Structure 1
């Protein structure tokens, strides 16, 4: 059965290439996406993030011209979640978009909290990249 998906988007008054360059660097995760992780470490070519649920493996999309920032998070228990994240061009600015999927067994309150957490991260990205102008 397909899971429920919510597409979250935040407009950013910065060129898409600038937003992509910043967000594509896993070392910046603690600054803009503390919901994913508060520290990042590169070990033997593999990224690890210390997050709310413990240390997770992060496999980001390779650099690309399409501004795709997808990443797979492998949880401590071994389950993997692929997150779809994109920067879209909008004139001289951009939109950051995230396809958030409701995980099996999530309560309505947990789902609402997940949505709020992702929106907080996206808005933090907006604030950081806009202030870098």
Structure 2
């Protein structure tokens, strides 16, 4: 099992941060690896909502990264699972009020199998970049 996580404190109320994160269409504002994203089914913020997502992959190719919201507890927790693409990680955003702001922890877990086990080093780097993007989220939400 591969795991990575990162935490930042954002100077915004938890409800604002949650509402921004749970709407996957906001992803390109802070996640540079998204080439395209669209709401495939469901309602923004609801469990079961699915997003069709194309991500920048190895060698400049696009890879599918479609995902589904599996838990949505406003304003404290969002969970999702990737449902298309070569790797199917699960992710969690945990939000906690901290003073007038919000502590946000983004965690990713992946279990590579088959050929993907040979790419563990690349997967680790990609996961670190994804959770590291919380710094960009902070900049977007505080500007």
Calculate the TM-score normalised by the size of structure 1. 0.77
**What stretches of structure 2 of length at least 5 have no aligned partner?**
43-49, 58-62
Q: Distance in 2 between matches of 1:5 and 1:62?
A: 19
Q: Distance in 2 between matches of 1:101 and 1:42?
A: 23
Q: 2:83 aligns with which of 74, 85, 93?
A: 74
Contact kept, 8 Å, 2:5 with 2:128, in 1: the verdict is: no
Q: Distance in 2 between matches of 1:62 and 1:111?
A: 24
Counterpart in the other structure of 2:45: none
Q: 1:115 aligns with which of 121, 128, 135?
A: 128
Q: CA deviation at 1:74?
A: 1.8
Q: 2:99 aligns with which of 58, 79, 91?
A: 91
| Structure 1 segments of 4+ aligned residues over 6 angstroms from their partners | none
Number of aligned residue pairs: give it.
Answer: 125
Q: Distance in 2 between matches of 1:91 and 1:117?
A: 26
- Are 1:7 and 2:15 an aligned pair? no
Moved more, 22-31 or 93-102: 93-102
Counterpart in the other structure of 1:129: 141
**Secondary structure of the equivalent of 1:70?**
strand
Measured on the aligned residues, the alpha-carbon RMSD in Å equals: 2.4
Counterpart in the other structure of 2:15: 17
Q: Distance in 2 between matches of 1:8 and 1:83?
A: 12
Q: Distance in 1 between matches of 2:125 and 2:32?
A: 18
